[in-house]
Structure 1
Amino acid sequence: MSTVKSPKPRRFSRIAPDNDDSASFFTSSEHLPNESAIESSASSIHLDVETPKSSYIPPWTEPYIIGVAGNSGSGKTSISQKIIQELNQPWTILLSFDNFYNPLNEEERKQAFNNNFDFDTPESLDLDLLVETVKSLKSGEKTQIPVYSFQHHNRTSKSTTIYGANVIIIEGIYALYDQRLLDLMDLKIYVDTDLDICLSRRLTRDILYRGRDLAGAIKQWETFVKPNAVKYVNPTMNNADLVIPRGLDNSIAINLMIKHIQKQLALKSSQHLKYLKELGVNIDFDIAKFNIKILPTNNQTRGINSILFDVSTERSDFIFYFNRISVLIIETALEFITNYKPVRINHNYDGLRLMDEIMAVNIIRSGDCFMSSIKKTFPEISIGKLLIQSDSRTGEPQLHFDSLSSEMARGKKILLFDSQIISGAASIMAIQVLIDHKVAESDIILCSYLSTEIGLRRIVNVFPKVNVVVGKMSSIEIGEGKWYNEENFKDSDWHFRNRFIDSLYFGTD
């Protein structure tokens, strides 16, 4: 830590440390894979060279897709769960073929209850729906996964909503059967287990968890399961990239598989980071050309900033004055909303009535600092949440949680809050999530107290129609770059490259 002493020891986190503890990828990190290929030095940035608009490709539109196939009872589910456990990746989705059986009519259900219906033939599965589901997830859309009941032998009215899958595991006896699925997969795994072992496992599962009796389970095995395994399932082994004999008992093969997947995900992560870092580099960045508003420098804002930047400020005062400047930011954001209807009040006053509905979305925890001010401004406003955090090993931003209303797709104006924009990655990802939820780009108003120039460059490069309000903005330290503040703050200055606002606001520093 710095040797500068503060009268308030608990506030030492306000002082720039000797090492860079920035949570962003604004500067290079020794933890990033293939660091030489991910150059992030500010000196390599070339300013004001006009290029076409870039597009952001979030991780969930390039998910890593794994197929796990094998006979019934071979251990496919155990292998899939092992992959999920070892990868420890947010938004790893397990798509089981058990959810994609075709609905049965009354006659077929009677056969199923008598163990006379063949559930182990490809025709019993809705492969078309499964293919469309995977394609929908791969395109970044919110997708409904059906729920099937084996006790009632029918698809239920319930469904599971999935959005933002980084890793998709497709698990089922016919995972490697349909060429359309094979074309979507990055890794194809076949679990090869002796059929006698499969039978013992299937009997346990069917009797304990699917409500079947022993005689019926054995009848179904001999009549349908085993013949279909030999005819349809076993040949799909030829489509596999990796065959795992003995299932979960083969720890050597499983460990090699996990290491391979981790290596591929690390490469995918590094490519995502590299792309993010390159955003905003070669663009013509003129604030006048974008919908960007910076709070004016006047006695009021200068006074508030002086208090917020002062390491000796008490936390209660920090909260009070941050709330004050939050109100100014929100009021400036409302200048982007112009849809008002003239109204006559008491027959003698010509007023205006706001016609647009407004909703708020917070990037947890940074955006939560604005909540007191937004609720005072709009007491009944609907508030959504997004949890976006950087991976501790790579620095890659990842979407962990979203709670958003379907109402926002109906022409609402969305106030998106992030107290600090450093790399711009979290804001870019949050905007992409809103767009995936059918929010128009021009209906989004991003509100932030502090922002770096490189962060804003990246945002407007990808989303030029997004409206942005910033309390204070720094500048890239390069040549004769443009200055956006009278204090000559640079992107590399501590207050702009380290997240401190939410820690101080919520008392977690």
Structure 2
Amino acid sequence: MESSMRPVIIGVAGGTGSGKTTVAKEIFKQFSQSSIVLIEQDAYYKNQDHLTFEERLKTNYDHPLSFDNELLYAHLMQLADRSPIFKPSYDYANHTRAKEVTKIEPKDVIILEGILILEDERLRSMMDIKVFVDTDPDIRIIRRLVRDTKERGRSIDSVIDQYTSVVRPMHLQFVEPTKRYADLIIPEGGQNKVAIDLMATKIRTIIEQKKLDA
């Protein structure tokens, strides 16, 4: 494939527990890992080293301002120009950016996945395909309950309290409205094999066209 070809950038958005990560990973599996990279918006939460630990605990991770979209946009531009990036990582235990970074080489396909990637106009403008994974709220809260109690050691009460006080209102205010920007709305997330196969076919078509144009 031509190294001068601008990569195909796919945005996969949706609420917490919608299955957007599963969709992104299923698309990822359809391509050679030498030609595709998956970038999670969660890696780009803002650095909070300047705050005390108590102040960090108050961070609303479901608000657009919690993300360092400046850095994410700059990194996408670098990858589009075929330059490598050093992707940050986030330390959830200490509620701030970790010291470790991951070198990401430019690829032909970039999947950008996160709850609010369609909220930022600059990020949207770089995407060839914009996807919104749309799953019923009752399914999403159940998935979040299972994940946070099993994987993150949270109590059921704390998960429900966070969901009702922060996650749900932020979803309705910021995440749900971005559905209107989507080229494709996928119901039920990773279970929707037809939509995922269609996505992969469309991505291959775009790659072929870009190769011809390069």
Could you tell me how far 1:219 is from its partner in structure 2?
Answer: 1.5
Distance (Å, rounded) in 2 between the aligned partners of 1:213 and 1:109: 21
Task: State the AA in 1 paired with 2:128.
Answer: D
Equivalent residue for 2:28?
Answer: 84
Task: State the AA in 1 paired with 2:156.
Answer: L
Change in CA separation of 1:152 and 1:100 when aligned onto 2, cut-off 3 Å: same
Equivalent residue for 1:118?
Answer: 60
Equivalent residue for 2:116?
Answer: 174
Change in CA separation of 1:250 and 1:200 when aligned onto 2, cut-off 3 Å: same
Equivalent residue for 2:163?
Answer: 221
Change in CA separation of 1:106 and 1:180 when aligned onto 2, cut-off 3 Å: closer
Equivalent residue for 1:101?
Answer: 45
Equivalent residue for 1:202?
Answer: 144
Could you tell me how far 1:216 is from its partner in structure 2?
Answer: 1.9
Distance (Å, rounded) in 2 between the aligned partners of 1:193 and 1:108: 36
Could you tell me how far 1:112 is from its partner in structure 2?
Answer: 5.3
Distance (Å, rounded) in 2 between the aligned partners of 1:237 and 1:120: 16
Change in CA separation of 1:266 and 1:62 when aligned onto 2, cut-off 3 Å: same
Q: Does 1:243 align with 2:188?
A: no
Change in CA separation of 1:108 and 1:77 when aligned onto 2, cut-off 3 Å: farther
Contact 1:150/1:210, CA 8 A, preserved across alignment = no
The TM-score, its normalising length taken from structure 2, stands at 0.91
Equivalent residue for 1:165?
Answer: 107
Could you tell me how far 1:256 is from its partner in structure 2?
Answer: 1.8
Distance (Å, rounded) in 2 between the aligned partners of 1:91 and 1:161: 15
Secondary structure of the residue aligned to 2:160 is helix
Q: What is the 5 A alignment of 1:283-362?
A: none
Could you tell me how far 1:215 is from its partner in structure 2?
Answer: 2.1
Could you tell me how far 1:223 is from its partner in structure 2?
Answer: 1.0
Distance (Å, rounded) in 1 between the aligned partners of 2:105 and 2:59: 34
Q: Does 1:138 align with 2:80?
A: yes
Could you tell me how far 1:211 is from its partner in structure 2?
Answer: 3.7
Task: State the AA in 2 paired with 1:97.
Answer: Q
Q: Where is the helix percentage greater, Structure 1 or Structure 2? A: 2
Could you tell me how far 1:214 is from its partner in structure 2?
Answer: 2.4
Number of residue pairs matched by the alignment:
214
Secondary structure of the residue aligned to 1:189 is strand
Q: Could you list the per-position Cα deviations for residues 373-418 of structure 1 after superposition, in whole angstroms to 9, with x for gaps in the alignment? A: xxxxxxxxxxxxxxxxxxxxxxxxxxxxxxxxxxxxxxxxxxxxxx
Contact 2:49/2:97, CA 8 A, preserved across alignment = no
Change in CA separation of 1:66 and 1:230 when aligned onto 2, cut-off 3 Å: same
Q: What is the 5 A alignment of 1:406-485?
A: none
Could you tell me how far 1:89 is from its partner in structure 2?
Answer: 4.9
Specify every segment of 5 or more residues in structure 2 that has no aligned partner in the other structure, as ranges: none
Task: State the AA in 2 paired with 1:187.
Answer: I
**Aligned with residue 252 of structure 1, among 182, 194, 201:** 194
Equivalent residue for 2:11?
Answer: 67
Could you tell me how far 1:208 is from its partner in structure 2?
Answer: 2.8
Equivalent residue for 2:3?
Answer: 58
Contact 1:93/1:167, CA 8 A, preserved across alignment = yes
**Aligned with residue 234 of structure 1, among 159, 176, 179:** 176
Q: What is the 5 A alignment of 1:264-275?
A: 264-272=206-214
Q: Does 1:183 align with 2:125?
A: yes
Could you tell me how far 1:73 is from its partner in structure 2?
Answer: 0.9
Secondary structure of the residue aligned to 1:81 is helix
Task: State the AA in 1 paired with 2:100.
Answer: K
Could you tell me how far 1:110 is from its partner in structure 2?
Answer: 2.2
Secondary structure of the residue aligned to 1:174 is coil
Secondary structure of the residue aligned to 2:39 is strand
Secondary structure of the residue aligned to 1:140 is coil
The TM-score, its normalising length taken from structure 1, stands at 0.40
Could you tell me how far 1:134 is from its partner in structure 2?
Answer: 0.5
% identity of equivalent residues: 36
Could you tell me how far 1:248 is from its partner in structure 2?
Answer: 1.6
Contact 1:151/1:210, CA 8 A, preserved across alignment = no
Task: State the AA in 1 paired with 2:76.
Answer: V
Secondary structure of the residue aligned to 2:12 is strand
Distance (Å, rounded) in 2 between the aligned partners of 1:112 and 1:214: 22
Could you tell me how far 1:197 is from its partner in structure 2?
Answer: 0.9
Compare CA radii of gyration and give the structure with the larger one.
Answer: 1
Contact 2:59/2:66, CA 8 A, preserved across alignment = no
Task: State the AA in 2 paired with 1:156.
Answer: A
Could you tell me how far 1:142 is from its partner in structure 2?
Answer: 2.0
Secondary structure of the residue aligned to 1:87 is coil
Task: State the AA in 2 paired with 1:98.
Answer: D
Task: State the AA in 2 paired with 1:226.
Answer: R
RMSD between aligned residues = 2.0
Distance (Å, rounded) in 2 between the aligned partners of 1:151 and 1:265: 40
